[in-house]
Chain A
Amino acid sequence: QKEVEQDPGPLSVPEGAIVSLNCTYSNSAFQYFMWYRQYSRKGPELLMYTYSSGNKEDGRFTAQVDKSSKYISLFIRDSQPSDSATYLCAMIRQTGANNLFFGTGTRLTVIP
């Protein structure tokens, strides 16, 4: 079993919809939770990250972490066609190399 699980989708939504993307994890040592966006054949781009449990908002994006359930979410409001990409969740342990543990990514398409 992978340490980070993510539904690969694909997920298609109409423009303007609210998108919900989710990951679960098994390792309690994870303390930092990231969301990356990756366009086809490009490197991942850091969208936002949170430390421990709680919410964080940045424009149309909101990240939520529930450590008790080992569950994280990314919400995208008023989705745009330019949001079409693969969204990767990633996590870092409190100690060690700070290397990222990624989910498989969810492919999102926003239809105009």
Chain B
Amino acid sequence: DTGVSQNPRHKITKRGQNVTFRCDPISEHNRLYWYRQTLGQGPEFLTYFQNEAQLEKSRLLSDRFSAERPKGSFSTLEIQRTEQGDSAMYLCASSLAFGTGAYEQYFGPGTRLTVT
């Protein structure tokens, strides 16, 4: 068990470009969450998947954001037409779907996005 991994760790892009981040959860975890964290703030929920189904999206997830988890394993988060306000740390977390493990979310190291 290598934990949750995220790639890339850091992405610098120019305003208006598209970016895509990848998250590989802990292998037996059915649930996968995306959060965004800005400097000096706690993470904020964006969306989550149970297996391949995207079950909930926050209103923070504008139309420029899309997330997928096509085979119920890894997930991608794409931001189209990036804006400077998108600069943040994007965190992925995973958990089991049932039992007490459903409340234990384990985070990856995050992808730090800088939009210039």
Q: Please count how many residues in chain A sit with their CB below 8 Å of the partner chain's CB atoms.
A: 27
* Complex interface bits, B79-116 against A, C-beta within 8 A gives 1, otherwise 0: 00000000000010101000000111111111010000
Interface-forming stretch among A12-20, A39-47, A72-80? A39-47
Do B107 and A45 touch across chains, with their CB atoms under 8 A apart? Answer: yes
- A88 in the interface (beta carbon within 8 A): yes
Q: What distance in Å separates the Cβ of A1 from its nearest Cβ neighbour in chain B? A: 15
Q: Please count how many residues in chain B sit with their CB below 8 Å of the partner chain's CB atoms.
A: 28
Closest A residue to B46 using CB positions: A99
* Complex interface bits, A55-98 against B, C-beta within 8 A gives 1, otherwise 0: 00000000000000000000000000000000010101000111
Given contacts A44-B107, A45-B107, contact A100 B43 (CB under 8 A): yes
Given contacts A43-B91, A104-B41, contact A98 B102 (CB under 8 A): yes
Q: What distance in Å separates the Cβ of A83 from its nearest Cβ neighbour in chain B? A: 19
Given contacts A43-B4, A43-B107, A46-B104, contact A97 B56 (CB under 8 A): yes
20 examples of A-B residue contacts, CB within 8 angstroms: A41-B112, A43-B6, A43-B91, A43-B109, A44-B91, A45-B107, A46-B104, A49-B103, A49-B104, A51-B103, A90-B42, A97-B45, A97-B56, A98-B48, A98-B95, A98-B102, A99-B58, A100-B35, A102-B44, A104-B41
Please list the 7 inter-chain residue pairs (A to B) with the smallest Cβ-Cβ separation, ordered nearest first: A102-B42, A43-B107, A99-B45, A97-B56, A43-B109, A44-B107, A32-B103
